[in-house]
Structure 1
Amino acid sequence: MPSEFQKKSSEFAKKCFDDIREMSKDGQGVSRQGYSPVETQVLEYFKKIGNELNLEISTDKAGNVWMTIPGKNRNLPALVSGSHVDSVPQGGNYDGLAGVVAALTVARWMREINYVPERDYTVLMMRMEESSWFGKCYVGSLGMTGQLTEQDLALKHRSTGKTLKETIKACGFNPDDLTTGVPVVDLAKMAAFIELHIEQGPTLDSSDTRVGIVTGIRGNFRHKTIKCIGETAHSGAVDKQFRHDAVLAMAELAYKMDCLWDDWLKDGKDLVFTIGVVHTAATSAIAIVPGEVTFCCDIRSLHRETLEQFHALLLQQAEEIGKKRGVKFEFDKTIISEPLAIHENLMNHLDKSAREAGLNVRKLPSGAGHDSVIFGNLGIPAAMIFVANQDGSHNPHEKMKLEDFIQGADALWNAVKNFPIEGIK
């Protein structure tokens, strides 16, 4: 049976989702590029709600927005919840946004029932978590913690060629503040970070359980651009033994890595491997043996050692296939996102609070990366709540039932309400 929180919060959450979809719709889906006018418009929308709720609002030097309900003891570090507001190009409306709406729904409920928490409760709305636009994920949270690099800032937009540095600067922030190695906020004032997110996979939606407690978050090793350089030739005049076919070399590498992936899964390793983009040269044609192909790759695992070892295999196989076929593979700089072992005590707190509130939850890992990784790997207790969604994610067909979302938000509310005065160690 729905709780009072669920009954009286659903309409507010639905309006937030509908309003944001309207302001960011792009064809069938939505597009909210990080550090874009649309992303800024979304943040302003939520800041307006924050003002109506009389929240303390601030914006850090990376552009992330913090909205706080003051607690009884302001000397205690704050309990922080939120997520990112950007999206992939023409993606779904709920990836990231669900976490922001859930955190704000809890803040609204506190005001409605005149609840004052023991410690500050803060809604955190972060910029540019998605890597689709520049090839770099967690930009807002990395910038906040001073962990961006000059190489990150030099990355170029997928279609315009504009650098990340130029994009951040055009949004009104100084990118040089974000590469110092020093956080632009006082992280000691964060007692813990809880992020609600849609699952982005089918596990919850294929079960009777609609809410999940995350056990770990996969990290990734990525190459945005790998080139296979062979030799362009006439497709009719050059026999097989004389060819240096870049496409077939790339295809052989992809197939070999797929077979090795199978072997590693049989050995019980946590691993996923993806080649998501493939391009032949602009001069390619039906009558030409391709002399160049570019592609990307994405290796993910819950374990850093697995990432390193499978990546080393990729380089080894590329070298062997290159020699065999008379081609050369050139790899750009590896983009690394660390995996996160979710804070066990905080995870158990989420699980216990939800179950005591009568919610049916289950534990499961996260295949996708999230901003929680950045906080967790800096020693801040971090954990996640998953909500069932349909038709996957990172596509315009992404769905999430409101009744599932509000159960997840209820789990967050109970975790916030029951958060121990002494904090989570």
Structure 2
Amino acid sequence: MAHEAPWRTEPDFALAQSLFDTFQTIGFDGRGITRASYGEGEERAHNHVRSVAADLGLEVRTDWAMNLYVTLPGRDRSLPAVMTGSHLDSVPVGGNFDGAAGVVAGLSVLSGWVREGATPSRDVTLMAIRAEESAWFPVSYIGSKAAFGLLDAAALQARRTDTRRTLAEHIAEAGGNAEAFKKPGLDPKHIDCFVELHIEQGPTLIGKNAQVGIVTGICGSSRYRHAEVHGVWAHSGATPRAYRHDAVIGAARLVERLHREWLEIEADGGEMTLTFGVFQTDPTQADFSTIAGKVGLSIDVRSRFLELLSKMNARILDIVQQIAMDNDVEIKLGPHTGSTPAQMDDTILKDLMTLAKNSEISAIAMPSGAGHDSAIFANQGVPTAMLFVRNQNGSHNPDEAMDFADFKAGSRLLSQILANRSA
């Protein structure tokens, strides 16, 4: 006799290991994992999930942006669906667990339920989300925004960093239809909740000796990806200091001044991060005996608080003017991009903490400094939660090292919360 409820059903961890192994093969670039957004690696990963889901007898569909939805039908299909999922693309030379762990966990949960004949009260849907990593296109959360009809025509003309072809072209190549960008694939009113499992991308869980993090909120961002400081190229020996327009000095002073602003904000109790991930002279002109006339840099500010992001951006604009004037250089910040912070659902957070305690899973509440697709769901009014799984060596690098025992703990917790919400 088929079980009606999946409360005690173990996720299919043999399938999970097989999926990780396949994704490793699909994405390996010789050093790490590269599955470009709307590239061959992401496409092959999506096709593999689709194939496995079909073999399990699960329903499969895609939307216009080729997000993938895998559904175990519930007894009452008119009820709002319980959802889980994450992304399958990676940064260049990244790791095999960032994003993929959430898809693997969701599919292993559904496979376990199918194996035991479990039937939820409502649909439970796994979403394999396209193009979460903005390393490829200068647009945040492409797949989840597309699902809710939040992408605009300008975003579809964004060009991928390696191919220089537009997002619309890449979507079409994957089998989608960018002309339907105003047609959402998801309606918030038809979603009971969204729970995303993801590896932690920092050292907090390692430092706290906890297997799982239960996320309280997700940072938003304020970014200048392609800022430039322009001076004058000149001979290093023949140009006295008074006559120099040194782009390196201007850029260095800009970095130092913004860093000091960060320290002052933290001293006042503000919570944010500031990163200059790119800082480079023009390799075609730079030379040890030449005063640099151009420096390119990026500015990445993140915070869970929108007011603080706005305040810091205003300070950046003021400081840029000051530095440019004081150092006889020109500073062009370029396009301003960003994302909105999101708060996770208090009720689901409390339920997860209780489930973790009852299951003797070591868990702590913590914020997410990185952005995730869950932010889009939360800001669309969907009750949303995130689970972090302990992971050594950070993420966005080939050395990601999630212990499978920790993945099992996080997946069991995911299974329990999805079961509770679909009871």
TM-score by length of 1: 0.94
Give the superposition deviation at 1:4: 7.6
Counterpart Cα distance in 1 of 2:108 and 2:267: 43
Counterpart Cα distance in 2 of 1:129 and 1:420: 27
Match of 1:96 in 2: 99
Query: Secondary structure in 1 aligned to 2:210?
Result: coil
Q: Give the letter aligned to residue 207 of structure 1.
A: K
Equivalent position to 1:411, from 410, 413, 417: 413
Q: Give the letter aligned to residue 356 of structure 2.
A: A
Match of 1:218 in 2: 219
Match of 1:39 in 2: 42
Whether the 8 Å contact between 1:376 and 1:382 is mirrored in structure 2 is: yes
Counterpart Cα distance in 1 of 2:229 and 2:150: 32
Match of 1:391 in 2: 393
1:354 paired to 2:356: yes
Counterpart Cα distance in 2 of 1:74 and 1:317: 55
Q: Give the letter aligned to residue 373 of structure 1.
A: A
Give the superposition deviation at 1:285: 1.6
Give the superposition deviation at 1:170: 2.2
Q: Give the letter aligned to residue 246 of structure 1.
A: A
The 5 A counterparts of 1:73-112 are: 73-112=76-115
Give the superposition deviation at 1:208: 2.7
TM-score by length of 2: 0.95
Q: Report the CA distance shift for 1:279/1:176 in structure 2 as closer, same or farther (over 3 A).
A: farther
Query: Secondary structure in 1 aligned to 2:159?
Result: coil
Q: Report the CA distance shift for 1:420/1:110 in structure 2 as closer, same or farther (over 3 A).
A: closer
Q: Give the letter aligned to residue 320 of structure 2.
A: A
Which segment drifts farther, 11-20 or 160-169? 160-169
Match of 2:270 in 1: 269
Q: Report the CA distance shift for 1:420/1:36 in structure 2 as closer, same or farther (over 3 A).
A: closer
Equivalent position to 1:148, from 148, 151, 162: 151
Match of 2:116 in 1: 113
Counterpart Cα distance in 2 of 1:5 and 1:24: 31
Whether the 8 Å contact between 2:220 and 2:340 is mirrored in structure 1 is: yes
The 5 A counterparts of 1:53-68 are: 53-68=56-71
Q: Report the CA distance shift for 1:104/1:420 in structure 2 as closer, same or farther (over 3 A).
A: closer
Counterpart Cα distance in 1 of 2:44 and 2:83: 22
Q: Give the letter aligned to residue 15 of structure 2.
A: F
Match of 2:172 in 1: 169
Counterpart Cα distance in 2 of 1:327 and 1:168: 41
Q: Give the letter aligned to residue 261 of structure 2.
A: L
Counterpart Cα distance in 2 of 1:258 and 1:103: 40
Q: Give the letter aligned to residue 26 of structure 1.
A: D
Q: Give the letter aligned to residue 292 of structure 1.
A: K
Q: Where does structure 2 lack aligned partners over 5 or more consecutive residues?
A: 1-6
Q: Report the CA distance shift for 1:333/1:302 in structure 2 as closer, same or farther (over 3 A).
A: same
Over the aligned positions, Cα root-mean-square deviation in angstroms equals 1.6
Question: What are the Cα deviations for residues 169-205 of structure 1, in whole angstroms up to 9, with x where unaligned?
Answer: 2222222322x3x523333221110000001111112
The 5 A counterparts of 1:307-318 are: 307-318=309-320
Give the superposition deviation at 1:259: 1.4
Counterpart Cα distance in 2 of 1:353 and 1:418: 10
Counterpart Cα distance in 1 of 2:376 and 2:102: 16
Whether the 8 Å contact between 2:389 and 2:406 is mirrored in structure 1 is: yes
Q: Give the letter aligned to residue 331 of structure 1.
A: L
Question: What are the Cα deviations for residues 275-299 of structure 1, in whole angstroms up to 9, with x where unaligned?
Answer: 1112322222222111111111110
Which segment drifts farther, 315-324 or 283-292? 283-292
Counterpart Cα distance in 2 of 1:167 and 1:137: 16
Question: What are the Cα deviations for residues 309-328 of structure 1, in whole angstroms up to 9, with x where unaligned?
Answer: 11111111111010011111
Whether the 8 Å contact between 2:280 and 2:296 is mirrored in structure 1 is: yes
Match of 2:3 in 1: none
Query: Secondary structure in 2 aligned to 1:363?
Result: strand
Question: What are the Cα deviations for residues 44-73 of structure 1, in whole angstroms up to 9, with x where unaligned?
Answer: 111111112110110111100101111111
Q: Give the letter aligned to residue 220 of structure 1.
A: S
Q: Where does structure 1 lack aligned partners over 5 or more consecutive residues?
A: none
Q: Give the letter aligned to residue 48 of structure 2.
A: Y
Counterpart Cα distance in 2 of 1:355 and 1:419: 18
Give the paired residue count. Answer: 416
Counterpart Cα distance in 2 of 1:19 and 1:99: 15
Q: Report the CA distance shift for 1:18/1:291 in structure 2 as closer, same or farther (over 3 A).
A: same
Query: Secondary structure in 2 aligned to 1:26?
Result: coil
Q: Give the letter aligned to residue 394 of structure 2.
A: G
Counterpart Cα distance in 2 of 1:12 and 1:388: 20
Match of 2:345 in 1: 343
Q: Give the letter aligned to residue 395 of structure 1.
A: N
Question: What are the Cα deviations for residues 339-371 of structure 1, in whole angstroms up to 9, with x where unaligned?
Answer: 001111122222223323332211111010000
Give the superposition deviation at 1:26: 0.7
Counterpart Cα distance in 2 of 1:113 and 1:291: 67
Query: Secondary structure in 2 aligned to 1:346?
Result: helix
Query: Secondary structure in 1 aligned to 2:402?
Result: coil
Query: Secondary structure in 2 aligned to 1:133?
Result: coil
The 5 A counterparts of 1:262-301 are: 262-281=263-282, 282-301=284-303
Whether the 8 Å contact between 1:354 and 1:415 is mirrored in structure 2 is: no
Match of 1:256 in 2: 257
Counterpart Cα distance in 2 of 1:345 and 1:417: 15
